[in-house]
Amino acid sequence: MNGITKKYGLLALLTGTLWLTGCSDFLDESDPSNFTVENYFTKPEHARSSVNSIYATMRDPLGSGFGGGNWMMTEFATGLAATDLGQAVNSYFIKDLKNTSDNGYGQGYWTAYYKGIANANLSIAKVPSIQMDAAEMKKLLGEAYFLRAWYYFNLVQMFGNIPLVTEPMSLQSEQLRPKQATPEEVYSLIVADLKVAEEAGLPWVDATGKVSLGAVKSLLAKVYLTMAGYPLQKGATYYDLAAKKAEEVIDSKQYKLFTTYDDLHNPAKKNVEENIFMVQFRTQILPSNWQVSIIPYNKNISAYSDETGGIYSTGDFVKSYEAGDLRAKEKQFFYTKFTNETNRNLEVDLGGYFIWKHFDVTAQTSTANSDLNWPVIRYADVLLVYAEAANEVNGPATKAYDAVNAIRTRAQLPSLAGLTKDQLREAVWKERWYELCFENITWFDMVRLRKAFNVTTKQFDNYVGHKFSYGPTLTERELLFPIPTSEIRNNTNLVQAKGY
């Protein structure tokens, strides 16, 4: 996706000009050689580059180093992740359920995703004024609406009552310090945006990594499933909507599960087959940058100079997998040993269950420059959305079994059969925990279900009152992350989440 990787800086420049509007006279003077909002949106290529810029901030939370990484926030909140990186205090605040509004991870998400929303709002407002092919414009706007919906979907789940901004901003904007919208209002916009994207003429699959029709329908299914649960609790009607939308993706025959888990971290499999939508990276141009966080602390196994031990699975979680589950075996989803960087014939015991499903073998052993994308929506997720939602509507029907059993068959587990509706519900939940772990999905499932997986009993506890295997107990306040302190300070219209 060369356009996305090379042109994403433009809208940051254009958005920055908005904040200068209305200042003193000398700031109103313009250099005709510089791009501004007023003189930029004039050509079809401007439309493409403006939409490309919306993708850029999807990458920001994935940065990792000795300070940890924003993407770890929702993983430590599950109680299923551990760390050896003592200086990454933000990780410990979340992991030990002592989080505060000063946590840099939350600030990182808030800043990046609202910047993405600002870029989407600018494209949605300005692209229609460009003289260009109507069908191409419609597709570009479809991408913009999808991305705005995706950013808002993540923000509303993480922070609850959030500002809902749908127009480009300037110092004169009435919404310069916006009030918070209710989750209901945010979800209404998300659904409306995705319906626009669904009718935009996008292809079912886009191997370059841009938004596809499959991505739109898949995200809409996930949104409907979330709306069926907490906090909106829309119930059966929305389970039915989720099942039908996921079924459209399944019935399209455009996607399929990988035959091997190795393909989950195979650069040759970007944006195809099981990978419906991903955050895009490119080696030597914009290399993915979480590799240093998923290797053990200073074990000398990697070509990367930084080995941070930033995040890995608790042993209790990995040991809770069903006997014979391929995903829990060495170098499937996790790894416990690897070769020494200076002597690849020497095997090193790592002392923990590190995350293999995101491990770039080439980068770790030679280049230190990863070409992996980050998965956002996998076909496995869509199958499990369908199985869960369809079971809620019609009980354990054949097609629901087929969807969940496709996941289990690949894991070399026996097919499910003869279950009650309640039994199948929890069986599907378990597959979601086991299949989608460490992909920034599990905590969102916990919140919409108000359930947490007990790795000892292998059953589901109520979210509030669930005790992590290493001690801390979830309370009501952990149903949301706190709005960052700086946002509360700069916008007196914002009210902090309960308990922070």
On whether residue 226 sits in a domain, the answer given is no
Please report the pLDDT score of residue 33 as a whole number: 55
Q: Which of 143, 153, 154 is nearest to 120 (CA)?
A: 143
Residue 95 CA to its chain's centroid (Å) = 19
> Which stretches of the chain score pLDDT less than 50?
1-28
Same domain, yes or no: 79 and 192: yes
Distance (Å, rounded) from C-alpha 279 to C-alpha 62? 9
On whether residue 445 sits in a domain, the answer given is no
Please report the pLDDT score of residue 176 as a whole number: 80
Q: Which of 154, 224, 238 is nearest to 443 (CA)?
A: 154
Intra-chain end-to-end CA distance of the chain, in Å: 41
Distance (Å, rounded) from C-alpha 105 to C-alpha 88? 10
Among 342, 372, 402, the domain boundary falls at 372
Q: What angle do CA 62, 315, 101 make, to 5 degrees?
A: 40
Distance (Å, rounded) from C-alpha 230 to C-alpha 283? 40
On whether residue 58 sits in a domain, the answer given is yes
Q: What angle do CA 155, 241, 166 make, to 5 degrees?
A: 35
On whether residue 427 sits in a domain, the answer given is no
On whether residue 406 sits in a domain, the answer given is no
On whether residue 434 sits in a domain, the answer given is no
Please report the pLDDT score of residue 36 as a whole number: 72
Which token pair is 189? 């916009």
Distance (Å, rounded) from C-alpha 381 to C-alpha 255? 12
> What DSSP letter does each residue of 30-54 carry, written as one string?
--TTS--HHHHTTSHHHHHHHHHHH
Supply φ then ψ for residue 108, to 5 degrees.
-60, -45
Residue range(s) defining the domain that contains residue 196: 1-63+72-201+464-500
Domain holding 183: CATH number?
Answer: 1.25.40.390
Alpha-carbon distances of 255 from 62, 273, 414, 485, rounded to whole Å? 26, 5, 23, 42
Please report the pLDDT score of residue 20 as a whole number: 31
Q: Which of 64, 129, 128, 116 is nearest to 90 (CA)?
A: 64
Same domain, yes or no: 16 and 132: yes
Q: What angle do CA 72, 359, 107 make, to 5 degrees?
A: 20
Same domain, yes or no: 27 and 154: yes
Same domain, yes or no: 118 and 2: yes
Same domain, yes or no: 49 and 167: yes
Same domain, yes or no: 37 and 148: yes
Question: Which pLDDT tens digit goes with each residue over 39-69?
Answer: 789 999 999 999 999 999 999 999 999 999 9
Same domain, yes or no: 139 and 25: yes
Alpha-carbon distances of 372 from 226, 290, 295, rounded to whole Å? 28, 10, 15
On whether residue 298 sits in a domain, the answer given is yes
Alpha-carbon distances of 418 from 317, 412, 415, rounded to whole Å? 27, 19, 10
Please report the pLDDT score of residue 35 as a whole number: 63
Answer yes or no: are the C-beta atoms of 69 and 437 closer than 8 Å: no
On whether residue 429 sits in a domain, the answer given is no
Q: Would you mind telling me the total number of residues written for the chain in this entry?
A: 500
> What DSSP letter does each residue of 187-251 carry, written as one string?
HHHHHHHHHHHHTS---S--TTSS--HHHHHHHHHHHHHHHHSTTT--THHHHHHHHHHHHHHHH
Question: Number of helices (H) and strands (E), helices first, in the chain?
Answer: 19, 12
Among 372, 392, 410, the domain boundary falls at 372
Which token pair is 467? 């005790």
Strand 347-355 to strand 374-378: parallel, antiparallel, or no bridges (unpaired)?
A: unpaired
Report the sign of the C-alpha dihedral through residues 74, 371, 64, 316, in that order: positive
Element (H, E) at 65: strand 64-65
- The CB-side HSE value for 51 (13 A sphere, CA atoms) comes to 22
Same domain, yes or no: 288 and 195: no
Among 317, 350, 372, the domain boundary falls at 372
The alpha carbon torsion through 17, 21, 23, 28 (nearest 10 deg) reads 80
Distance (Å, rounded) from C-alpha 212 to C-alpha 457? 40
Please report the pLDDT score of residue 264 as a whole number: 98
In the chain, the number of structural domains is: 2
Residue 212 CA to its chain's centroid (Å) = 16
Distance (Å, rounded) from C-alpha 82 to C-alpha 91? 9
